[in-house]
Structures are given as C-alpha cells and as structure tokens.
Structure 1
Amino acid sequence: MDFKNQINFLQELQKNNNKEWMDTNRKWYKEVRDDYIAWLNDINSKLSVIDDAYYDTPGKKGINRINNNLMFHPNKPIYKDHFGAGFDKRPNTGDFYVEIGIERSMFAGGLWRPDPKRLRSIRDAIDYDGEELLQILNKKSFKNLIGGLYEDVKLTNAPKGFSNKHRHIDLLRNKTFAVAMEFSSDLVLKDDFEDYLINAYNIMLPFRRYLNKAITV
C-alpha cells in the first residue's frame, strides 16, 4: 500500500475541496482508492486467521465513502480529510475501525451512542457482570495502548431502572461505549505499521466481544 500517495492525495483534496477538482483528479482518486481496497483485503485475510469468530469484511464492504453527509452536516466540507474503513463488520455490531488521515490517524472500536435498545442491553450486561468489563478496561496492555473509554456525554444521574448507588454507576452513565486511539500519520509509513494494527485489534477484541455479546444474546 502506497500510504504516501494516499496522504498526498488527501492533502491536495483538502486544498481544493470541491467537485470540480475531484472530477479533474478522478483517475488519481480511483488509483488511491483501489490501492486502499487491496490493502484492506490483505488485512481482512490476516485478521480472519487470528480471530476464529471474525466476520469476513472485504475492502469494498468495509470502506467508507469519502463524501461527507451534507444532509446532516451541512457545514462540513464536501470531502473528508481521511480514508476510513471497518473490519469484522458483522451487521448491527461494533466493528474495528481504521482511519488514515493527513496528520492524524486512528484505530477505534465499539459503539458510538447506540440506539436505546442496544444501550439498554449494554447496561443490563454491566448490571449482570460489570466486573468483567472493568477487568478488560483495566488490563495493563489495554490501558497502555488505549487508555480507557472514549470520553463522550454522560448522564448526570443513573439511567432509568438503576440506582445512583449502583456499584458500576460510572459505567452505566455512559451513552457511548467505544474506544479510540489516535496516532501520527507518520506511523502508517513505517514498515511495522501492520504489526501495530494487528496488535491494536487483538487488544481491543475482548472489549468489542463483550459489547457485541451484550447486544446480540
């Protein structure tokens, strides 16, 4: 994968974030996108070997659109400043997300502000065995690489059906159950980037499995 070419494309796109420029440089975009999809396919194959429960996600199914959704975010530019894709993308569950951007890139996993039904299922799981989730979050390798849960809005009080004195009230008040680790895009140019990605996948996997079990069982 020629990540340098990909980043150069994104840099030029952000300088000329309009349809006219994109139309003129459509061949370049297709070259970068096809290269990225081929790389996604390769990573998809490698992850399927290390994770027995992995959900096959070829590059064309995992890749996100480069266009921003202007219907819901009319103030955003037409095109994103990154290429994003999901792995292990089983329907209606939390996937492993990879984002390659101009200066900032990211690995992430879990569920961003899930709908009320799935959010309730996660909270019920925490009520039942929140200790397991805490063990995952407090594991040394997890804390060293990721830190903790993604900081998002929280309820000020206990969610309906739970007490403010609940032993896991800090977890229950979350509306988002996701983790994210940002890193400099210089890292994607290094020879060991794929090893870094696979290590991040493995460290996030117990967290994602906990959530996905909660919302599917």
Structure 2
Amino acid sequence: MDFKNLIEFLKALNSNNSKEWMDANRKWYKEVRTDFVKWLDHMNIILADLDDEYYDTPGKKGINRINNNLMFHPNKPVYKDHFGAGLDKRPLTGDFYIEIGVERCIMAGGFWRPDSSTLKSIRDAIDYDGEVFEKIITQKSFKNVFGGLYEDAKLIKAPKGFSNSHEHIQLLRNKTFAVAHEFSTNEVFSADFEEKIINVYKEMLPFRRYLNKAVTVA
C-alpha cells in the first residue's frame, strides 16, 4: 500500500475541497481508493488468522464513503480529510475502525454513542459482571495502548434503574464505550505499521468481545 500517495491525495483534496476538483482528479482518487481497498482485503485476511470469531469483511464492504453527509451537516466540507473503514464488521456489534487521514491516523473500536437499547444491554452486562470489564480496561498493556476509555459525554447522575452508589457507577454513567489508538504519519509510513495494527487489534479484542457479548446475548 502506497500510503504516501494516499496522504498526498488527501492533502490536495483538503486544500481544494470541491466537486469540481474531485471530478478533475477522479483518476487519482480511484487509484488511491483501489489501493486502499486492496490493503483492507489484505488486513482482512491477516486479522481473520488471529481471531477465530472474526467476521469476514472484504475491503469494498468495509470502506466508508469519502463524501460527508451534508444533509445533516451542511457546514462540513464536501469531502472528508481521511479514508476510513470498519473491519470485523459483524452486524449489530462494534467493529474495528481504521482511519488514515491528514490530521490523524487512528485505530478504534467499541460503541460510540449507541442507541438506547444497545446502551442498556452494555450497562446490564456491567451491572452483572462489571469486575470483568474493569479488569480488562485497567490492564497495564491496555492503558499503554489506549490510555483508557474514549472520553465523551457522561450522565451526571446514575442511569435509570441504577443507584448512584453502584460499585461500577463511573462506568455506568458513560454514553460511549470505545477506545482509540492514534498513529503518527511517520508510523503509517514505517515498515512495521502492519505489525503495529495487529498489536492494537489483539489488545482490543477482550474489550470488544465483552461488549459484543453484552449486546448479542439475550
């Protein structure tokens, strides 16, 4: 994968963010996108070999649109400043997200502001055996890679049905259950970038498995 070409394309797009520019550079875009999809196909195979529960996600299925949704966010640029994709994308579960962009390159996973039903399932799981989840997210290796849970808005008080004195109240107040690891552009260009992705994926597995079990087991 020629990540330098991908970043150069994104920089040019970011400086000329318009349909006219994209139309004039459609060949370059298709070249970069095709290369990225092939790389995703490669990572799809690599990750499947690491995880017996991995959900096959070909690059074309995992890649996100580069267009911003202007219907709901009319003030955003026409195009994103990154290529993003979800792998291990089993329906109704948290996938493993990869984003290669101009400003940041991240690997993330879990649930970002899930719907009320999914959020309730996660909270019910924490209520049942939150000590298991606590053990996962307080592991030294986990903290070294992710720092902790992704910081997002939280409830001020306990969610409905739970007490403010609950032993896991700090977790239950979360609206988002996700983690992220950021890479520098130099790391993306490095020869061991694939190895770094594998390490992040493996470190995230117990976290994602706990959450996925919470939302899929009745």
Same fold, judged at TM 0.5 (above): yes
- CA distance in 1: counterparts of 2:204 and 2:72, whole angstroms: 30
Partner of 1:102: 102
Structure 1 runs (4+) greater than 2 angstroms displaced = none
Partner of 2:161: 161
What's the CA shift for 1:183?
2.2
What's the CA shift for 1:127?
0.2
What's the CA shift for 1:186?
1.8
What's the CA shift for 1:185?
1.7
Gaps in structure 2 of 5+ consecutive residues = none
AA of the residue aligned to 1:71:
M
* Identical-pair percentage: 71
What's the CA shift for 1:103?
3.4
Paired residues of 1:10 and 1:82 also in contact (CA < 8 A): yes
Q: Name the SS of the counterpart of 2:86 in structure 1.
A: strand
**TM-score using structure 1 length:** 0.99
Partner of 2:141: 141
1:106-130 deviation digits (Å, cap 9, x = unpaired): 0100001110101000000000000
- CA distance in 1: counterparts of 2:185 and 2:178, whole angstroms: 21
Q: Name the SS of the counterpart of 2:37 in structure 1.
A: helix
- CA distance in 2: counterparts of 1:188 and 1:51, whole angstroms: 23
Partner of 2:44: 44
Paired residues of 1:87 and 1:96 also in contact (CA < 8 A): yes
- CA distance in 2: counterparts of 1:168 and 1:75, whole angstroms: 39
- Name the count of aligned residue pairs: 217
- CA distance in 2: counterparts of 1:106 and 1:47, whole angstroms: 17
- CA distance in 1: counterparts of 2:102 and 2:113, whole angstroms: 26
Paired residues of 1:70 and 1:76 also in contact (CA < 8 A): yes
Partner of 1:89: 89
Paired residues of 1:103 and 1:184 also in contact (CA < 8 A): no
Paired residues of 1:44 and 1:57 also in contact (CA < 8 A): yes
1:125 aligned onto 2:125: yes
